[in-house]
Amino acid sequence: MGLTVNDISKIYHLDLVDLIEEAHRVHRVSFKHNEIQASSLVSIKTGGCSENCTYCSQSAHHQTSVERHSLLSQDEVVAAARRCKEEGSTRLCMGAAWSRVRDGDDFEHVLKLISAVQSEGLEVCCSLGMLSLSQAVRLKEAGLHYYNHNIDTSEDYYPKVVQTRSYQDRLETIGNVREAGLRLCTGGILGLGESDEDRIKLIYQLASFVPQPESVTINTLVPIPGTPLENSTPFDALDVVRVAATLRITNPKSMIRLSAGRLGMSSEAQFLCFYVGANSIFLGDKLLTSPNPSSQSDHSMLKRGGFKLSESSIS
């Protein structure tokens, strides 16, 4: 029998020291405690998304400084793949500002990009919005390893964050990803104005997937001028530690990635997140359109903390 919301609440509300130590113990059962997997993220199509996600700089509903660009060429993506490999990443994630995948020339181009990136010796992940089962199957056949589709927050709080697509829409896409045999990358965003109860329910949903996601992302809000959340209160780094620790205990075999928002965290706060079980990051000074620490500073931080980058685990 799986964990209940009440079970997760008890874990989440443990004294922080006890929570940290338990999460570290669980982490060492399934992972090498000093290894961090690194990915890189490139926006292959930027801006103009029809969704109204309140946090997103790429939504057509918001007036932001993001410049729109159409799909990158294969040469541009291959060049990005080679750069990320040189920096130490084992996976390239390609994101497109689409509400959903549409059959046609653009989708055919993405399938070619997947094959091209895989030929560079990298794991391949895509985040393209909602997709059908037949599209998920074609992505798998093209060589895609992971599909990212975040659920953002709890089902209860979700309507305050997005109104143009439902929580069930997201779960349906995740179901299609799984049925097609793809590995799943999903997670949420902290700092949207949600309560602790919302965070607990988000963790409950992530723990309830069968099988559990191979990769779970922890994003913290990067307030973007022109979005409804531009004046949001800065997050507390210890809240991120608490969420990461609870995720590690409830998703013991998932890779847990610190994603957007790391630029606002000290090295010490990130070290605590790694200690409790976060074991993946994005390298590169930009995540789609959000700022990220430079690869040089990340390599320095990891070295000082006694961490090393892991090698690819997908053949």
State how far the Cα of 56 lies from the Cα of 46, in Å rounded to an integer: 11
- Domain limits for position 71: 5-308
Q: Which of 84, 126, 185, 273 is catalytic?
A: 185
185 carries an active-site annotation = yes
Residuewise pLDDT in 10s, the chain (315 residues)? 589 999 999 999 999 999 999 999 999 999 999 999 999 999 999 988 999 999 998 888 998 988 889 999 999 999 999 999 999 999 999 999 999 999 999 999 999 999 999 999 999 999 999 999 999 999 999 999 999 999 999 999 999 999 999 999 999 999 999 999 999 999 999 999 999 999 999 999 999 999 999 999 999 999 999 999 999 988 899 999 999 999 999 999 999 999 999 999 999 999 999 999 999 999 988 888 888 999 999 999 999 999 999 986 664
Is residue 314 in a domain? no
222 is a domain residue:
yes
Query: Is 84 an annotated catalytic residue?
Result: no
- The CATH code of the domain that includes 118 is 3.20.20.70
Query: Is residue 227 in some structural domain?
Result: yes
Identified catalytic residue from 91, 165, 257, 262: 257
CA separation, residue 306 to residues 277, 299, 300 (Å)? 15, 11, 10
> What residue type is assigned to position 168 of the chain?
Q
Residue 190 lies inside a defined structural domain of this protein: yes
Number of domains in the chain: 1
Is residue 93 part of the annotated active site? The answer reads yes
CA 1/CA 38 separation, integer angstroms = 33
Known active-site residue 56: yes
Which one is catalytic: 84, 91, 125, 262? 125
